[in-house]
Amino acid sequence: MTTRAERAEETRLRILRAAFDLQSRSLASDIGLAAIAHEAGVSVQTVLRRFGSRDALFDEAIRFANQTVAEERRAPVGDPRAAVRVIVDHYERRGDFALMMLAQETTYEHVRRMSDAGKAMHRTWVTDVFGPQLADLAAAPRQETTDLLVIATDVYAWKLLRHDRGLSRSQTEQRLDTLVTAVLTAAALRKDT
């Protein structure tokens, strides 16, 4: 019985990964159950048996994506340089997926929900990993600094450097680290005056 349950869970995860991976390469409107089934190595009937419908599958894929992204973005609290390294690693794996989702967020409801969740997750990530640097700031400077750190570590900052400028991963990390350091230095100076 356990082996059967394990196989069923394996199949479920393969289908969710397939839906997640396809969304990084294709428009949501172009992704049908047949493509997901093919990518997962199962039949369309298996997908329907497990999830019921395309919409239900995409709802579950959103939860799966959020869990996956949260794990990939786990960074040590209070270590800005490590946080930048982690976020660049994450964007190297999932940056194109995030950009594809953002490009479609006004067109598809499930994509908008996924994008909204991603934006909220990013802001929470910033407040968590930079928490010690933000802790001693008054409310208004803390919000401003948080906003600036969100921007400095956003997927669009990575895109501008990595895709648009054609910089290496290392150069991109260095520039994002410079931005983060500048924001934190400015915040510390404001705190001390």
Q: List the end-to-end C-alpha distance of the chain, in Å, as a whole number.
A: 66
Candidates 70, 75, 58; CA nearest to 23 is 58
- Asked whether the predicted pLDDT for residue 151 surpasses 60, the reply is yes
Spatial CA neighbour of 191 closest among 129, 127, 145, 160: 145
pLDDT surpassing 60 at residue 83: yes
Residue 86 confidence (pLDDT) above 70: yes
CATH number 1.10.357.10 is the correct assignment for the domain at 1-64: yes
pLDDT in tens, 29-54: 788 899 999 999 999 999 999 999 98
Name residues whose C-beta falls within 8 Å of residue 53's C-beta, 6 or more positions apart in sequence.
none
Reading the block at residue 5, the tokens are 């349950």
Please give the pLDDT value at position 1: 55
- Interval 115-133 mean pLDDT: 93
List the one residue out of 172, 20, 188 whose CA is nearest residue 111. 20
User: Is a pLDDT exceeding 80 seen at residue 182?
Assistant: yes
**Predicted local distance difference test score (pLDDT) of residue 21:** 83
Give the DSSP H/E element, type plus range, for residue 106. Answer: none
Compute CA distances 82 → 107, 115, 138, 173, whole Å.
35, 25, 25, 10
> Distance between CA atoms of 30 and 100, rounded to whole angstroms?
13
Percent of the chain with pLDDT over 90: 59
What is the amino acid identity at position 97? F
Amino acid letter, residue 21: D
Can you tell me the distance from the alpha carbon of 7 to that of 1, in angstroms, rounded to the nearest whole number?
A: 10
**Domain coordinates in residue numbering, the chain:** 1-64, 73-193
Mean pLDDT of 154-176: 98
Q: What is the mean pLDDT of residues 129-155?
A: 95
Mean pLDDT for the stretch of residues 102-126: 87
Question: For residue 161, is pLDDT > 90?
Answer: yes
Average pLDDT, the chain: 90
Q: Grade residue 115 by pLDDT with cuts at 50, 70 and 90.
A: confident
Q: Which pTM was predicted?
A: 0.80
What percent of the chain shows pLDDT beyond 70?
A: 98
Helix (H, G, I), strand (E, B) or coil at 107: coil
